[in-house]
Structures are given as C-alpha cells and as structure tokens.
C-alpha cells in the first residue's frame, strides 16, 4: 500500500457507537490505508447533525449517492444482515463488524449477493490482530493438543441487540478455530438468571483429532472483562497469556486488510480460506444456539 492512490473510495459509517467512532477517527487520520478512503458521512438512528465536522446523512442518501462506494456497518449485530443486503444491492462494498449475521444461511446468501454484484464483503476480526493471538499462534504451532479451555467474562449484554452468546462471543470461537482447525460440537448448556442479568454458556467442542475444548462465556454485573485460557499439549501446557504488550490500532490494521481487498491484493485462495473459516464459525454458533434452546 505504498503506492499513491489513483482514486479514493467514498465511505459512509453506519452506527457511531464504540466501533463506529474508532472507524471514523481512523478514516480521518493520515494512515496509509486511509489515503485510499474518503469519509463522506455517517448514518445513525439518533439525530446527531455532525460529529467533528463529519455530516450525518440519511440511509436513503447513503444508498443512492454515487459518491458513496463503501459502507462500514458498525451498528448493533441484529441490524447487520439488513444493512449489508441494502448496501450490496445498492452496489457498494461492505465492511462489517463481527458477527456479520445471526444465522449461517443469511451469511451464505449475502456472500452470494456480494459475488453476484462483484463487491467486497469483509467481516472484521480484530481479535486475530491482537498481540495475544500472535503469541498464542506461535506457541501452539506444531504441538499436539490434549485438551483446552477458554473462559471469557464480561458485564451484561443485551441478547436482543447483540445476538445469542455464541454469536456475540464469536471472536473467542474464531480464536479456537484459528488455533486448532475446524471444530465440532459435542454439547452446550446455557444457564440464565434474567432478573440478575446473569448468563453462563458452556460449550464442549472437539478438534478433528477428537481433543476436547471447552468454551465458556460468562456475563453479569460486576464481572470484569477478562479472558482465561488453558491448553494442555503432549509437550507441556500453556496457562493464560503473559502480558505481551498493548494492542495498537487493531481496527486500523483491519482497515488495511479491507483496503487490500478493495485493491485486489488478496488471492482467491486466501479469500476462500477466510470465508470458509467465517462460515464454519457462524455455523457452529448457530448449532450451539439450537442445542441450548432445544433444552437438551
């Protein structure tokens, strides 16, 4: 991306919460990938007028404007599918924060639509750009896993807006799949105390070599955002990640990847492998949801 851009892609940011605000900041700062992008405006259900000199525009204008070629979907997860479909149908490239949809079949349909329209559809996965993940990837390479577990704790999250815990927590599942390959579901349980805003999802998975992996998402008032992991290998074990430094500009790194896709710098093979992983994780998340909701 060292070349000078021949032209800039006009961008609109949909949803200006935490992720949307970071995206707007990155787009307005002089980064190599931002040089290929031109922030035209943002879309929000709230009447905000403008943010730091960036104008609010209506969804209709964003969809119909010739200037807008790219949409960043940073709204709550339950609205992603609808926004992606509208922007792809309007002939725009789409970057969406994970999870792109709350069902596998919807994701498959949207990918087909993107291919049909000849547009880039990119699902953000900043968790794969974290220092901790880079450390883990190095640690597990070439090792035989015997068993492992990953526990994530955080404050309460509204399921109506962010989806079932297997979807809202799909970045943890993505870590496990990226480290150990495709997984299959053995069983899953969901313990909920709605009046206390507490929930705990426990998922038993196994690798293709039948090694067990346990994934737990626990959310409730007073629970700090934390990740605990334990992987046991034939050659020793790994308990939690040491402090490997802060994650600098992970959303910007994700934007760099997206711009490389816009410029056609990713091979078909790389894109197919990424799509396969994303659909595998969404399929697992849906399977987990069905398992928990069937009251097995």
- Selecting among 34, 75, 168, 171, the annotated active-site residue is 171
User: What is the rounded CA–CA span in Å between residue 20 and residue 16?
Assistant: 4
Catalytic-residue membership of 98: yes
- Selecting among 75, 172, 217, 277, the annotated active-site residue is 172
- Binding site listing for NADP(+): 16-19, 44-46, 77-80, 98
* E-assigned strand segments in the chain: 9-14, 37-43, 50-51, 54-55, 68-73, 93-96, 121-123, 145-154, 183-193, 198-207, 212-219, 226-233, 236-239
Catalytic-residue membership of 97: yes
| Chain centroid offset of residue 166 CA | 12
Cα end-to-end span (Å), the chain: 51
CB distance 161 to 78 below 8 Å: yes
Please name the residues in contact with 32: beta carbons below 8 A apart, sequence gap of 6 or more.
1, 2, 256
- Binding site listing for Zn(2+): 280-281, 292-293
Tell me what percent of the chain is helix, strand and coil, each rounded to the nearest 5. Answer: 40, 30, 30
Catalytic-residue membership of 171: yes
- Selecting among 23, 33, 81, 98, the annotated active-site residue is 98
- Selecting among 69, 81, 123, 127, the annotated active-site residue is 127
- Selecting among 124, 132, 217, 286, the annotated active-site residue is 124
Catalytic-residue membership of 206: no
Closest Cα to residue 179, out of 218, 216, 130? 130
Phi-psi region of 95 (alpha: psi -120 to 50; beta: other; left: phi over 0): beta
| Residue 168 burial (C-beta neighbours within 10 Å; 0-12, 13-18, 19+) | buried
Catalytic-residue membership of 230: no
CA geometry: angle 96, 18, 193, nearest 5 deg: 95
Other CB atoms closer than 10 Å to residue 14's CB: what's the count? 25
- Selecting among 69, 81, 97, 123, the annotated active-site residue is 97
Which residues are known to be catalytic? 97-98, 124, 127, 171-172
């Amino acid at each position: 991306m060292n070349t000078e851009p021949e032209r800039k892609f006009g961008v609109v940011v949909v949803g200006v919460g935490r992720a949307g605000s970071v995206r707007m900041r990155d787009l307005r700062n002089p980064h190599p990938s931002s040089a290929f992008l031109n922030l035209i405006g943002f879309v929000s259900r709230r009447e905000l007028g403008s943010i730091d000199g960036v104008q609010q525009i209506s969804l209709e204008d964003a969809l119909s404007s010739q200037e807008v070629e790219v949409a960043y979907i940073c709204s709550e997860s339950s609205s992603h599918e609808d926004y992606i479909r509208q922007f792809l149908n309007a002939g725009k490239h789409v970057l969406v924060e994970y999870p792109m949809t709350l069902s596998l079949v919807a994701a498959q349909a949207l990918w087909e639509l993107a291919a049909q329209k000849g547009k880039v559809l990119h699902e953000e996965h900043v968790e794969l750009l974290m220092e901790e993940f880079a450390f883990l990837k190095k640690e597990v390479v070439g090792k035989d896993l015997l068993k492992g577990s990953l526990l994530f704790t955080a404050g309460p999250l509204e399921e109506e807006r962010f989806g079932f815990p297997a979807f809202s927590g799909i970045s943890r599942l993505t870590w496990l799949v990226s480290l150990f390959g495709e997984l299959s579901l053995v069983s899953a349980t969901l313990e909920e105390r709605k009046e206390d805003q507490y929930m705990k999802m426990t998922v038993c998975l196994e690798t293709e070599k039948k090694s067990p992996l346990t994934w737990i998402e626990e959310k409730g008032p007073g629970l700090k955002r934390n990740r605990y992991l334990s992987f046991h290998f034939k050659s020793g074990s790994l308990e939690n990640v040491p402090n490997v430094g802060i994650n600098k500009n992970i959303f910007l790194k994700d934007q760099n990847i997206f711009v490389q896709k816009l410029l056609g710098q990713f091979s078909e093979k790389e894109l197919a492998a990424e799509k396969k992983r994303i659909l595998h994780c969404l399929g697992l998340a849906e399977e987990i949801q069905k398992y928990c909701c069937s009251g097995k």
